């Protein structure tokens, strides 16, 4: 390519150079073009380095990693609503990584730990807990077969799904996948088939929130993909307490794995909460959530230190930090009780 550019320049000079008195420039350009061609030939015929192939590959890998790191440094992570509000500047005795946290005794409502518990933030897929609650209260047939349609495709965040358009599952199976695996299309299909349709489902969710005294809570759709679905830790603790009273929600949300028949094959779905699989945890109900605006979220009912507790963690930055915060709370409670 470089040689072509030089010869283009030379030809241009040859055509008009004499009339402009550029003969010396023409000669210099021709000489430079010849030298460049010789250099190109030398580079192309130069023997390959004798270093081992593995070493060259390693250097290339290091170079690629350096480029990626540089790009990551240039492009900052998108801040959550909580970070934009400065909630990350709040200190707490456990050095929690979640910007919002609440630990409450389920039976007495005693607050054992609170951090920005009144902050109103996007709650991501924690939304699905309310979706499942209103669907269960509508007493619709769990064995009725529903079909995933194009209306269930995520047009908010453009996320994918393993449930292709045309997939047919029972209402109970869709509720299972929505609570356990946080399946967005499953949750939206539940809302679409609610009596009166999707808008009626959202209206029922907001009405239930008001009934429970969740004054800071608002829903606009049943999946949690919209950042307009917002609540506070205090409100969500109320929701967890009521949802725990529904045996079906306890069972489905704490399931570790479930297989459904999709077409001609069985498809396995797993829980989004690794603590459910841990034999050291006694979890009665749970739901995880994540969108960029909300950060990592987690609500749980669990028994620890001889007490039934409700735990809420919102706006956590790291992928595993909400799980780490739950472990920090458990260790703190064990130490606190022993002391």
Pairwise CA distance, residues 224 & 212, whole Å: 19
Q: What is the pLDDT of residues 146-203, one digit of tens each?
A: 999 999 999 999 999 999 999 999 999 999 999 999 999 999 999 999 999 999 999 9
Q: How many domains does the chain have?
A: 2
Range list of H helices, 193-305: 198-211, 233-243, 247-253
209 and 126 part of one domain = yes
Give φ, ψ of 101 to 5 degrees.
-150, 150
202 and 250 part of one domain = yes
Residue 307 has pLDDT above 60, yes or no: yes
Scored b (16 or more CB within 10 A) or e, 174-190 reads: bbbbbbbbbbbbbbbbb
Catalytic residue numbers read 125, 128, 182
Query: Is 215 within the bounds of a domain?
Result: yes
Give the pLDDT band of residue 7 (cuts 50, 70, 90).
very low
Residue 235 in contact with residue 215, Cβ under 8 Å? yes
| Chain position carrying tokens 């470089």 | 2
145 and 218 part of one domain = yes
**Does the annotation flag 287 for ligand binding?**
yes
Query: Is 68 within the bounds of a domain?
Result: no
Query: Is 50 within the bounds of a domain?
Result: no
Range list of H helices, 90-227: 127-137, 171-180, 184-192, 198-211
Give φ, ψ of 240 to 5 degrees.
-60, -40
- Quote the pLDDT of residue 71: 47
Pairwise CA distance, residues 3 & 5, whole Å: 5
Q: What is the pLDDT of residues 77-88, one digit of tens each?
A: 789 999 999 999
Question: Cβ neighbours of residue 51 under 8 Å, at least 6 residues apart?
Answer: none
Query: Is 76 within the bounds of a domain?
Result: no
Residue 252: count of CB within 10 angstroms of its CB: 21
Query: Is 19 within the bounds of a domain?
Result: yes
Query: Is 54 within the bounds of a domain?
Result: no
Range list of H helices, 89-147: 127-137
Pairwise CA distance, residues 211 & 203, whole Å: 12
DSSP 217: -
28 and 103 part of one domain = no
Give the pLDDT band of residue 13 (cuts 50, 70, 90).
very low
Which range of residues forms the domain containing residue 18?
1-45
Residue 73 has pLDDT above 70, yes or no: no
Give the pLDDT band of residue 134 (cuts 50, 70, 90).
very high
Query: Is 158 within the bounds of a domain?
Result: yes
305 and 228 part of one domain = yes
The CATH number that applies at residue 133 is 3.40.710.10
Element (H, E) at 291: strand 282-291
- Quote the pLDDT of residue 64: 66
Question: Cβ neighbours of residue 256 under 8 Å, at least 6 residues apart?
Answer: 180, 270, 271, 276, 277
Give the pLDDT band of residue 63 (cuts 50, 70, 90).
low
In DSSP terms, 286 is beta-bridged to: 300
- Rounded alpha-carbon distances, angstroms, from residue 95 to 321, 326, 329: 11, 12, 10
Scored b (16 or more CB within 10 A) or e, 86-105 reads: ebbeeeeeeebbbbbbbbbe
111 and 1 part of one domain = no
Pairwise CA distance, residues 148 & 165, whole Å: 5
Query: Is 64 within the bounds of a domain?
Result: no
Give the pLDDT band of residue 335 (cuts 50, 70, 90).
confident
40 and 127 part of one domain = no
pLDDT greater at residue 71 or residue 258: 258
2 and 99 part of one domain = no
259 and 138 part of one domain = yes
166 and 290 part of one domain = yes
273 and 164 part of one domain = yes
111 and 156 part of one domain = yes
């Amino acid at each position: 390519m470089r040689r072509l550019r030089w010869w283009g320049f030379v030809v241009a000079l040859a055509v008009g150079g004499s009339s402009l008195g550029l003969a010396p420039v023409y000669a210099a350009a021709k000489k430079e073009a010849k030298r460049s061609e010789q250099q190109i030939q030398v580079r192309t015929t130069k023997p390959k380095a004798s270093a081992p192939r593995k070493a060259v590959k390693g250097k290339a890998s290091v170079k690629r990693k350096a480029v990626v790191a540089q790009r990551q440094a240039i492009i900052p992570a998108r801040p959550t609503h909580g970070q934009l509000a400065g909630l990350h500047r709040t200190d707490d005795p456990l050095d929690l990584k979640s910007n919002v946290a609440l630990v409450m005794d389920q039976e007495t409502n005693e607050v054992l730990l609170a951090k920005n518990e009144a902050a109103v933030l996007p709650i991501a897929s924690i939304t699905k807990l309310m979706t499942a609650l209103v669907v269960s209260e509508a007493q619709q047939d769990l064995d009725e077969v529903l079909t995933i349609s194009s209306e269930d495709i995520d047009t908010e965040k453009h996320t994918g799904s393993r449930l292709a358009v045309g997939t047919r599952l029972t209402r109970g199976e869709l509720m299972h996948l929505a609570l356990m695996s946080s399946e967005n299309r499953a949750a939206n299909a539940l809302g679409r088939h609610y009596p009166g349709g999707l808008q009626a489902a959202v209206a029922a969710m907001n009405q239930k929130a008001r009934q429970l005294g969740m004054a800071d809570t608002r829903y606009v759709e049943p999946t949690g993909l919209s950042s307009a679905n917002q609540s506070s830790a205090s409100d969500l603790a109320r929701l967890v307490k009521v949802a725990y009273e529904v045996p079906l929600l306890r069972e489905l949300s704490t399931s570790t794995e479930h297989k459904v028949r999709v077409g001609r094959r069985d498809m396995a779905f797993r829980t989004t909460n690794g603590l459910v699989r841990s034999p050291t945890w006694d979890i009665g109900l749970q739901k995880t959530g994540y969108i960029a605006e909300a950060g990592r979220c987690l609500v749980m009912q669990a028994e620890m230190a001889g007490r039934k507790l409700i735990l809420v963690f919102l706006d956590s930055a790291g992928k595993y930090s909400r799980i780490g915060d739950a472990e920090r709370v458990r260790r703190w409670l064990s130490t606190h009780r022993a002391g």
